[in-house]
Amino acid sequence: MPPLRHFTRNFPKRAAELTDGGSLYWVVGGVVLVRQRILDVWQDQEPDGTPCTALVLDPKLVRVEGRAMRAFQGWRYLDPKDAPPDLGQQTGGAAEMPEAMRRELAALALL
Protein backbone atom coordinates (compact mmCIF):
# COMPACT_ATOMS: atom_id res chain seq x y z
CA MET A 1 0.00 0.00 0.00
CA PRO A 2 1.40 3.46 -0.88
CA PRO A 3 2.05 5.94 1.94
CA LEU A 4 -0.64 8.45 2.91
CA ARG A 5 -0.07 11.60 0.87
CA HIS A 6 -1.63 15.03 0.47
CA PHE A 7 -1.02 16.63 -2.91
CA THR A 8 -0.36 20.30 -3.51
CA ARG A 9 0.77 22.28 -6.52
CA ASN A 10 4.00 23.95 -5.36
CA PHE A 11 7.05 22.54 -3.63
CA PRO A 12 7.49 24.27 -0.25
CA LYS A 13 10.52 26.56 0.04
CA ARG A 14 11.08 25.41 3.64
CA ALA A 15 10.60 21.67 3.07
CA ALA A 16 13.42 20.75 5.48
CA GLU A 17 11.52 22.46 8.31
CA LEU A 18 8.38 20.51 7.48
CA THR A 19 10.09 17.14 7.74
CA ASP A 20 11.91 18.08 10.95
CA GLY A 21 8.91 17.63 13.24
CA GLY A 22 6.45 19.74 11.24
CA SER A 23 2.74 19.00 10.95
CA LEU A 24 -0.11 19.73 8.62
CA TYR A 25 -2.95 21.34 10.61
CA TRP A 26 -6.47 20.65 9.34
CA VAL A 27 -9.14 23.39 9.49
CA VAL A 28 -12.56 21.76 9.82
CA GLY A 29 -15.66 23.94 9.92
CA GLY A 30 -13.59 27.06 10.64
CA VAL A 31 -11.68 25.49 13.53
CA VAL A 32 -8.25 23.86 13.62
CA LEU A 33 -9.03 20.45 15.14
CA VAL A 34 -6.27 17.99 14.23
CA ARG A 35 -2.74 17.77 12.91
CA GLN A 36 -0.76 15.15 11.04
CA ARG A 37 3.01 14.90 11.17
CA ILE A 38 4.74 15.46 7.82
CA LEU A 39 7.20 12.63 7.27
CA ASP A 40 8.56 13.55 3.84
CA VAL A 41 8.06 15.87 0.85
CA TRP A 42 8.28 14.43 -2.68
CA GLN A 43 8.18 15.76 -6.20
CA ASP A 44 5.25 13.87 -7.76
CA GLN A 45 2.72 14.11 -10.55
CA GLU A 46 -1.04 14.08 -10.91
CA PRO A 47 -2.67 11.19 -12.83
CA ASP A 48 -2.75 13.45 -15.93
CA GLY A 49 1.04 14.01 -15.69
CA THR A 50 0.90 17.52 -14.20
CA PRO A 51 3.80 18.05 -11.76
CA CYS A 52 2.86 18.44 -8.10
CA THR A 53 4.22 17.91 -4.61
CA ALA A 54 3.23 15.10 -2.27
CA LEU A 55 3.35 15.62 1.48
CA VAL A 56 3.84 12.19 3.01
CA LEU A 57 1.77 12.13 6.19
CA ASP A 58 1.76 10.05 9.33
CA PRO A 59 -1.64 8.31 9.30
CA LYS A 60 -2.13 9.11 12.99
CA LEU A 61 -4.38 12.14 13.60
CA VAL A 62 -3.44 14.15 16.69
CA ARG A 63 -6.29 16.16 18.18
CA VAL A 64 -5.30 19.71 19.06
CA GLU A 65 -6.84 22.49 21.10
CA GLY A 66 -9.54 23.92 18.84
CA ARG A 67 -8.75 27.35 17.50
CA ALA A 68 -10.98 29.40 15.20
CA MET A 69 -9.27 29.94 11.85
CA ARG A 70 -10.52 30.74 8.40
CA ALA A 71 -9.82 28.12 5.79
CA PHE A 72 -6.84 29.12 3.67
CA GLN A 73 -5.00 28.08 0.55
CA GLY A 74 -1.26 27.94 0.30
CA TRP A 75 1.47 27.42 2.84
CA ARG A 76 1.34 28.67 6.38
CA TYR A 77 4.30 28.00 8.60
CA LEU A 78 3.46 27.98 12.29
CA ASP A 79 6.19 28.70 14.79
CA PRO A 80 6.01 26.13 17.60
CA LYS A 81 4.88 28.90 19.98
CA ASP A 82 1.94 29.72 17.65
CA ALA A 83 0.79 26.14 17.00
CA PRO A 84 -2.21 24.90 18.97
CA PRO A 85 -1.19 22.43 21.70
CA ASP A 86 -2.18 18.79 21.51
CA LEU A 87 -5.29 17.97 23.54
CA GLY A 88 -3.33 15.53 25.70
CA GLN A 89 -1.32 18.52 26.96
CA GLN A 90 -4.40 20.37 28.21
CA THR A 91 -5.61 20.40 31.74
CA GLY A 92 -9.11 20.88 33.08
CA GLY A 93 -10.78 18.06 31.18
CA ALA A 94 -10.92 19.66 27.71
CA ALA A 95 -9.62 16.45 26.15
CA GLU A 96 -12.62 14.56 27.54
CA MET A 97 -15.24 17.08 26.32
CA PRO A 98 -17.61 16.05 23.55
CA GLU A 99 -16.33 17.22 20.17
CA ALA A 100 -19.35 19.45 19.47
CA MET A 101 -18.92 21.25 22.80
CA ARG A 102 -15.21 21.76 22.22
CA ARG A 103 -15.92 23.22 18.74
CA GLU A 104 -18.54 25.61 20.09
CA LEU A 105 -16.27 26.81 22.87
CA ALA A 106 -13.37 27.23 20.43
CA ALA A 107 -15.58 29.24 18.06
CA LEU A 108 -16.39 31.56 20.96
CA ALA A 109 -12.66 31.78 21.82
CA LEU A 110 -13.38 30.26 25.23
CA LEU A 111 -11.17 27.24 24.76
Confidence of residue 92 (pLDDT cuts 50, 70, 90): low
Judge whether residue 54 has pLDDT over 90: yes
Judge whether residue 91 has pLDDT over 60: no
Give this prediction's pTM: 0.75
Instruction: Report the number of distinct structural domains present in the chain.
Output: 1
What distance in Å separates the CA atoms of residue 92 and residue 3, rounded to the nearest whole number?
Answer: 36
Query: pLDDT, tens digit, for every residue of 20-38?
Result: 989 999 988 888 889 999 9
Give the range of the structural domain holding residue 60, as residue numbers without chain letter.
5-107
